[in-house]
Amino acid sequence: MAWVLLSLAGLLEIAWSIGMKFSEGFTRLWPSLCTVAGIVLSMVLLSLAVRRLPIGTAYGVWVGIGAVGTAVLGMVLFHEPVTPARILFVCLLVVAVLGLEATSGH
C-alpha cells in the first residue's frame, strides 16, 4: 500500500507542477487553488508512504516521478524542446526511480 500512496503522491506532484504553469504565477484563481490542493495532498500521501518506506527511497521516487512526468508533459503540452539529450536524461531518471524501488528492500 505504501508504494500505491507514493505513486499517487508522485502523480499529484506532476499535476501541481503543471498547475503552476496554468496558474500564471498564482494570478489565476482556479488553477492556483488546484495547484495548492495538489501540493498539500501530494505531501500528505508522501508522508503516509514514508511510514513504511525508507525516506531516501520514497523521496527519490517521488521527485523522480514528478520530474519525469513534468518533463514529458512540458514537451507535449507546452511544446518545450524535444532533443535526444532531453530524452536520454528523462530515461536516466526513469532508470534511477526503478533502481531506487528495486533496492529499497520493501
Average confidence (pLDDT) per 10 residues, the chain, 106 residues: 97 98 97 98 98 96 98 98 97 95 85
Alpha helices in the chain (DSSP H): 2-23, 29-49, 55-77, 84-102
User: CA 23, CA 86: separation in Å to the nearest integer?
Assistant: 25
Q: What is the pLDDT of residue 10?
A: 98
Q: State which amino acid sits at residue 18.
A: I
* Torsional class of 15: left (φ above 0), alpha (ψ -120 to 50), beta (otherwise): alpha
Cβ-proximal residues to 84 (8 Å cutoff; 6+ apart), any chain: none
**Model's pTM, two decimal places?**
0.92
Domain span including residue 57: 2-102
Q: What is the pLDDT of residue 104?
A: 85
Domain total of the chain? 1
**What cell numbers appear for 100 in the block?**
531506487
**What cell numbers appear for 32 in the block?**
492556483
